[in-house]
Amino acid sequence: MNETQKQELASLSLAGVAALLEKREVSSGEVTGLMLERIRESKNNAYICVNDGEDGGALKAAAEADSRRREGKSLGPLDGVPMALKDDFCIRGMKTTCASRTLENFIPPYTATVAEKLESAGAILLGKLNMDEFSAGNATDTSIFGATRNPRKPEHVAGGSSGGSAAAVAEDTAYFAIGTDAGGAVRQPAAFCGVVGMKPTYGRVSRYGFVHYASSFDQAGPLSKTVEDCALALSAIAGFDPRDACSLHDPVPDYHAGLRGAEEFKSFRIGIPKEYMGSQIRDDVRQNLTELAARLQDAGALVEECSLPNAKYASSAHYVISSAEFNSNMARYDGVKFGYRAKGYESYEDMLLRTRGEGFGDEVKRRILFGIYSLSGGRFNDYYLQAQKARTMIIEDYRQAFCRYDLLLTPAAPVTAWPLGTAFPDPAQAYMMDMCAVPANLAGIPAISVPWGADKAGLPMGVQVMAPALCDDLVLHAARGIEELREVRAHG
């Protein structure tokens, strides 16, 4: 293969490479080797570790996929397709660091359901992807392994916390990736890096075996080059899991086989909540969405401005509840059963203080401290309980909106990727960068970010489509339709 052929092969979609594998025009060994080569050459710091260990790693798994194909025993479209996972998914025998000193040397004795499902579909694990420490952050710059660069503009952040996942897909070092999203952590980096990122309905994908951030919001979802790829990946990872108490029993449709596109817009009623088109959204991002809205109307959709009256409380309610839940989830890191333990302690109490003081980075500490504060006697009623009530009101806002509209459309983020090293003088300002994404986590509904437009500097923008719980297929249809309109725009 010459360099041009390699580049072409690497830039294929999941569906594209799967078709070549199926026709045996290329082997999994070849594409996996190509991906590993590209990972080694990349300067974007998307990967924390590469699966090339003594047991043969990715190349051995690829050889097995190739022999299955030769014997006519292919496991399906993902068989032999190289992909990667955010480094919060546990895999037996492989380091899972969560980009933290605390888990720097943690080797899980068990495997996450998502990873098991992908393995049984034949997908090849290339490695584990960079992220904000314990998912606390939105720029993948709190990782102890350093920030991930945005492949579209390397002096800019990749977004976060699943920034490595978005960057790997954008730089063509994985045909798809799986991240986790408790407050936009899949969708915002997808938007920043110009790829597709989806947060399915809460409970649609098992949480078993990934390191929890905020348990009532956490959901795993695919990042991919196309919506079709997203549907293929979601079909592989969705489904009931008895090991996750919040896992949904509802049957999983074949998201890929049922995928429709722009012709569907004729039957869609789409609401654009005015609260996500206000002054907090940068002008060019707002105009970008307005332009899409006009094209959706041209395609036959009913597009109207609507209102989610309690939207302005979403970010603060999400911050309170997620910090409180994060604090609970982080209590397990005590330096006893696994993870980092400080040296030179004088007592059990002193060991805890030093272990957690040394093992956690600033943003993790900040969120734990605020979590405890909002649960403490003086603040419990005003903050935590109020935030839970606000959540009820926000869920109700969405329920009412979905009585009138099939879909809601917003920008995926209020801005585009900011320069690496940007320090927000007020932490709250940084949290507001998630303002478009967090409501879907509060309401548990499916949401996708799909690339549409770019700013003057060429940094990608994403638009977000949301639908009622369990209408993940609807979200995919609409996103596929937007993709088709994008293709029409590019060629017209």
Partner 1 sequence: MAITKDTIRQIAGLAKIGLTDEEAERFARDLSKIDTFVGQVAKLETEGVAPATHSVQMKSVYRDDVMIPSLPREELLANAPEHDGSGFLTPKVLDEG
Positions in 288-347 near partner 1 (CB under 8 A):
310, 312-313, 315-317, 319-320, 327, 334-341, 345, 347
Q: Decide: residue 216, CB within 10 A, 0-12 exposed, 13-18 middle, 19+ buried.
A: middle
Residue range at the interface with partner 1 (CB under 8 A); choices 15-23, 152-160, 175-183, 437-445: 437-445
By CB under 8 A, tell whether 428 contacts partner 1: yes
Tell me the Ramachandran region of residue 149: left when phi exceeds 0, alpha when psi lies from -120 to 50, beta otherwise.
beta
Residues in region 191-220 near partner 1 by CB under 8 A: 201-203, 216-217
Binding mask 444-463 for partner 1 (x = CB under 8 A): xx------------------
By CB under 8 A, tell whether 144 contacts partner 1: no
Binding mask 465-484 for partner 1 (x = CB under 8 A): ----x---------------
Residues in region 343-402 near partner 1 by CB under 8 A: 345, 347-354, 356-358, 360, 365-366, 368-370, 372-374, 376, 382-383, 385-393, 395
Which residue's CB is nearer to partner 1, number 160 or number 200?
Answer: 200
Which residue's CB is nearer to partner 1, number 144 or number 393?
Answer: 393
Q: What SS3 class is residue 178?
A: strand
Q: How far is the CB of 437 from partner 1 (least distance, A)?
A: 14
Q: Decide: residue 54, CB within 10 A, 0-12 exposed, 13-18 middle, 19+ buried.
A: exposed
Size of the site for partner 1 (CB under 8 A): 76
The DSSP bridge pattern shows strands 176-180 and 196-199 to be unpaired
> CA 166, CA 451: separation in Å to the nearest integer?
12
Which residue's CB is nearer to partner 1, number 6 or number 95?
Answer: 95
Q: How far is the CB of 206 from partner 1 (least distance, A)?
A: 14
Q: How far is CA 320 from the centre of its chain?
A: 21
Q: How far is the CB of 140 from partner 1 (least distance, A)?
A: 20
Which residue's CB is nearer to partner 1, number 204 or number 295?
Answer: 204
Residues in region 217-236 near partner 1 by CB under 8 A: 217
> CA 443, CA 391: separation in Å to the nearest integer?
7
By CB under 8 A, tell whether 74 contacts partner 1: no
Q: Write down the number of H helices and E strands in the chain.
A: 16, 13
Which residue's CB is nearer to partner 1, number 403 or number 423?
Answer: 423
> CA 7, CA 3: separation in Å to the nearest integer?
6
Quote the radius of gyration of the chain (alpha carbons, Å).
Answer: 22
Q: Decide: residue 492, CB within 10 A, 0-12 exposed, 13-18 middle, 19+ buried.
A: exposed
C-alpha distances in Å from residue 97, one per residue of 134, 135, 239, 484: 9, 11, 26, 39
Nearest by Cα to 264 from 413, 109, 483, 110: 483
Q: What's at 405, amino acid-wise? A: Y
Q: How far is the CB of 435 from partner 1 (least distance, A)?
A: 11
Which residue's CB is nearer to partner 1, number 284 or number 396?
Answer: 396
Residues in region 235-274 near partner 1 by CB under 8 A: 242, 245-246, 248-249
Q: How far is the CB of 28 from partner 1 (least distance, A)?
A: 30
> CA 465, CA 448: separation in Å to the nearest integer?
5
> CA 290, CA 283: separation in Å to the nearest integer?
11
Binding mask 150-189 for partner 1 (x = CB under 8 A): ----------------------------------------
Residue 57 has φ and ψ, to the nearest 5°, of 50, -140
Residue from the set 426, 456, 490, 492 that interacts with partner 1 by CB under 8 A: 426
Q: How far is the CB of 46 from partner 1 (least distance, A)?
A: 26
Which residue's CB is nearer to partner 1, number 257 or number 403?
Answer: 403
Contact between 475 and 253 (Cβ < 8 Å):
no
Residue 462 has φ and ψ, to the nearest 5°, of -120, 150
By CB under 8 A, tell whether 441 contacts partner 1: yes
Residue from the set 443, 461, 478, 485 that interacts with partner 1 by CB under 8 A: 443
Q: How far is the CB of 355 from partner 1 (least distance, A)?
A: 8
Buried b (16+ CB within 10 A) or exposed e, 318-343: bbbbbbbbbbebbeebbbeebbbbbe
Residue range at the interface with partner 1 (CB under 8 A); choices 55-63, 66-74, 142-150, 421-429: 421-429
By CB under 8 A, tell whether 422 contacts partner 1: no
Residues 6+ apart with CB under 8 A from 382: none
Which residue's CB is nearer to partner 1, number 317 or number 459?
Answer: 317
Residues in region 88-127 near partner 1 by CB under 8 A: 105-107, 109-110
Which residue's CB is nearer to partner 1, number 233 or number 351?
Answer: 351
> CA 469, CA 471: separation in Å to the nearest integer?
5
